[in-house]
Every structure is written in C-alpha cells, then in structure tokens.
Structure 1
Amino acid sequence: MSIQHQIDLAKKYLRYYLSAGNRHDVHSPFVFSLIEEVLNKKAARPEYAPMETLREQLLQSKDIVNVTDLGAGSLTGAGTERKISDITRHAAKPPKFGQLFYRLVQYFKPAYVLELGTSMGMSTAYMAKGRPESTIYTIEGCPNITAKAKANFASLGLTNVRQFTGNFDDVLPQVLAQVTPDFVYIDGNHRKEPTLDYFRQCAAKASEHAVFIFDDIHWTPGMEEAWKTIQDDERVTLTIDLFFIGLVFFRKDFKVKQHFTIKF
C-alpha cells in the first residue's frame, strides 16, 4: 500500500467516523437489534482465545511459503515467497472483525457458510467456532496457503470446514453447484468486476434470508463503485456500511430499500 493510498484511506475513514450513526439513529427494528445484540457486543469472550493464540503463533512464525496465486488486490504486496507472519499481519482481518463474524453466525444460524479467500484461515476459524453446526466452504487460490490453513484448522480441532483450492472463477461455480449458502463472505479479490461477478453468482442462489459480507468496500474507487452497484441491485433490500466491511441483506419484508452507515 502506497503512502498516498494510506492517506486517502485515512481521509475516507475520518469522514466515515464523523458521519456514521449508532443505534439511536436507526428506526429499523431489525437493524437496531443487530446493533444491540451483535455489533455492540465487543467484550472479550473465552471462546475467542484459541483463535487469538493461533494468531500470535502465526505472527511469530519464521516460516516462509511459496505463493503461487494471491489474487488481484492482495494486501500483502508483490513477490512469490512470503513470510507466514507477513501474510497474517496484512491479509487477516483484525480480531474485532473475526469476533464479529463469530457473533454474526451465532445470530443468524446459517447452515452453510461460503468464504472466498481463506488465507491463513483466521476468519474461517472464527465462523467455524461460532457455530459448529454450520458447514464452512472456503476457497483459496494458493495450494500452499490452503495447506497452512488446513494445519491451522486441525490445531483448533475444527471439523466443519470444507476447503477448495483454485481460481475463484473456476471453483466458485463448482461449489455453488453443491450448496446454497445462506452466509457469504467475499474477500480475496479487491477489484470491481470480479467482486460484482462473485456477488451475482452467489446472489442468484441466495435465499431472501441470506447474509452477504463484502471486505474492503472503500479500499479503492473501483471497490466503492462495486459497493454502490450492489446497493442498487433490485434484489438487495438493506445494506450496512461498517467502512472496512459491508453487510448485505435480501429480506423481502423490508418494503423500502434502506442503507445504513454504522459506527463500528
């Protein structure tokens, strides 16, 4: 990330922080409950400890992995050899977002979760731990990273994760042919057109009670354009902008399309 990109992102975040609302600015009972029962429940839980212990181990790791495909928009920079610690530091979502994913799957109780972009598996692990009854389908472009994530899942005792490796363009249709996900986390490719393509493929199979999460919706002008296109999609009835991620809902009981920007 260039210095200018960091400055631009910081300016965007400041605008978001100064303008974002909270539960008192929301007149939707659904969104109010989501804020009260999920977004604002940020206190530490013992259940988070295994993932954060793993995170510390990965950050201290001296291991190097040969990366064959991180995908466009990777946050870890160029090069084929990567330190596990660098991948974890730059590509894994911070603890508060992993913990949010944990609470979201507990709250919405999806049967099938689909994640595009496994990386070291931190977000995957939080979702898998959050609801062991759910099956997590996660796709990663790099075989060596898939292997590292598999070892991480084993260390956490996770048995409800199904891993797939390959280009999202090839693998996503195969996974969607097997399962209809009701909780989707789209990460791993931070460009406008691929993001919209993955959204359309997943939305075509989604039920009205599905929850979609998009990563880095303000990362670039292209990602902001993608986010606006998603908001405008006729199937989408509600979105919540948390700056670093965006939540998308398709519920037909929302008679009027609503978009919220909430401080998180």
Structure 2
Amino acid sequence: MVKLFLFRLKHYLIYRFNAVGPHALHSPFLFDLFNKAIKPASKFRLDNVEKLRVELKKDHQVIDLYDLKSKHSYRKTISSIAKTSLSTPKFSSFLFQLINYLNVTRIVETGTSLGINSLYLAGPQLVKNVSTIEASPIIASIAKKQFGKVLQHKIQIKTGTIQNEFEALVVKEQPELCFLDADHQSEAVKSCVDTLMKLCPEIKCIIIHDIYWSEDMLMGWNEIKDRDQFALTVDLFQAGLIFPSLDMPKQHFTLRF
C-alpha cells in the first residue's frame, strides 16, 4: 500500500508540474473544453444526486460481496463503499459538463458502482439513454434504488462482467460517449477501447477513469494515447480522455483539473 501511495503521489506531482490552463491552449476545441467543461465543474452540482451521495455515505448496512478475481467473499458497509469508490463531486460534475459540451445523447458506462456517476451522466437534458454495466448483483440493486429516486427512465443497468456484456451492449446502443470505470487492468481497458473503435467509428469521446490507479494502468494509458488513430488525448489525472473523431493533427495535452 505504501508503494502504491508513493507511486500515485509521484505521478500527481509530475501531473501538477506539467498541467496547463486555458491560456496555453491555442486550439478552439480545447479552449472551449476547458472553459465549458472543466472550469464549471468546480461549482456545479446536481443537488438531488449529491443528497443521495450523502445518504450513501451514512448508510451502515453491511452487504456480502464477491471478488471475481480472487474468488473470495467479503463483507463491507455501503458507507465504506461510498467513501472509497465514488468519484469526487467535481469529477461527477465534469462528466455532466462534458456531455453538454459535446452534445451527447447516448452513453455507455462500465462500473456502475452505487450509481452516482450514472445519474450525472444521465442528467443533461439532451441525454436520451445511459446503459451501465455492474458486475456485482447487490451493488447493482443498490444503484437501481438510487436511479428510481431521480432518473429511472433514462438509465438501464446490466448485471454482468464487461467481458460478457460490453460488446453486445455497444452494438445495441451505439454510444456517442463511453465512460470506462470497471476493470482497472490495462488489458481489459485496451480491449474495451478496441471494441469501441471497431464498432463505433463515430464515437465522440472515450473516458478512462483512474489512469494512475497502478503502474499497469498507467502503462496501458500511455500505450493508448500514443496510438496514431487518436487525434487528441487529454490527461486530467483522475481520467484520460480520448477524442477519436476529431480532424486535427495528433496532439496530447495535460490539462489542469
């Protein structure tokens, strides 16, 4: 754990040193991305969803979980999952702002967790449908309860692994944006990216969460961002963004978030 903490701290300091703001951006797309999606995320919140976040962090119900990788069962409280697994309100808000900026209507998410990011993804008025995959049936049931309180009609949740469910869901939904936040292993992430590029050639944005989760994830992100097929990639530390369909010279930026 200490080694992992030091790894993330080291790369966060490197990120902070390299990250730039809007005055260093000459591309109109990137300038607008910063001012219309990144900057507003600091202040904007969906109050009804943030109320659910608070409730989840106070829910001490104990649930039984199963780790698909280790094949072991374990117990956790909902509050502990909420405190360690949910994105920050600022990042959730960024998802909302990015969708508005890109005029996205169809979204696929992997890794529903307790459903807070799903609700932010479904929040913009233009969004017609969010399809999300969660491997744990009990976590999926908790997320469904949250959806029922706010935006149930916009969100469909599929219980299963990305290995079994992702490709068929992508074929069916043809998402304009995909948020990858399930299996934090580089091979799984790269497989999802490859599937999206094969089946959704006009996808506007792919978001890879937790690119500094581990050395393996960082290596995978670096391999993806170096691909010639992606004109623009962006490092926000909390996530990496891929914009596959932009017609521009290949570029990579580290933006202050």
* Change beyond 3 A, Cα 1:207–1:105: same
Match in the other structure for 1:13: 12
Match in the other structure for 1:168: 162
Q: CA deviation at 1:132?
A: 5.7
The amino acid across from 2:231 in the alignment is T
Contact 2:112 2:118 in 1 (8 A): yes
The amino acid across from 1:66 in the alignment is D
Match in the other structure for 1:183: 177
State the superposition RMSD in angstroms: 1.7
2:64 to 58, 63, 66: 66
Residue 183 of structure 2 corresponds to residue 196 of structure 1: no
Match in the other structure for 1:251: 245
* Change beyond 3 A, Cα 1:71–1:31: farther
The amino acid across from 2:171 in the alignment is A
Report the secondary structure of 2:122's partner residue.
helix
2:77 to 78, 83, 94: 83
Match in the other structure for 2:149: 155
Post-superposition CA distance 1:229-257 (Å, at most 9, x none): 21122321101100110110012421x10
Q: CA deviation at 1:12?
A: 1.0
Contact 1:176 1:202 in 2 (8 A): yes
1:53 to 51, 54, 68: 51
**How many Å separate the matches in 1 of 2:150 and 2:123?**
9
Contact 2:105 2:126 in 1 (8 A): no
2:255 to 242, 254, 262: 262
Match in the other structure for 2:133: 139
Post-superposition CA distance 1:87-126 (Å, at most 9, x none): 1111111110000011111121222100010000110011
**How many Å separate the matches in 2 of 1:110 and 1:71?**
34
Q: CA deviation at 1:43?
A: 4.8
Match in the other structure for 2:33: 34
Contact 1:105 1:127 in 2 (8 A): yes
Post-superposition CA distance 1:17-47 (Å, at most 9, x none): 12211111112111011111111113534x6
Q: How many residues align?
A: 256
Match in the other structure for 2:91: 97
Contact 2:41 2:97 in 1 (8 A): no
Match in the other structure for 1:75: none
* Change beyond 3 A, Cα 1:119–1:143: same
The amino acid across from 2:180 in the alignment is I
The amino acid across from 2:19 in the alignment is A
Q: CA deviation at 1:208?
A: 3.5
Contact 2:180 2:208 in 1 (8 A): yes
Q: Which blocks of at least 5 consecutive residues in structure 1 are unaligned?
A: 73-77
TM-score (norm 1): 0.91
* Change beyond 3 A, Cα 1:189–1:263: same
Report the secondary structure of 1:195's partner residue.
helix
Q: CA deviation at 1:188?
A: 1.5
* Change beyond 3 A, Cα 1:209–1:180: closer
Report the secondary structure of 1:181's partner residue.
coil
Identity %: 28
The amino acid across from 2:22 in the alignment is R
**How many Å separate the matches in 1 of 2:68 and 2:117?**
17
Report the secondary structure of 1:145's partner residue.
helix
Report the secondary structure of 1:33's partner residue.
helix
Q: CA deviation at 1:139?
A: 0.2
**How many Å separate the matches in 2 of 1:168 and 1:131?**
27
Q: CA deviation at 1:223?
A: 0.8
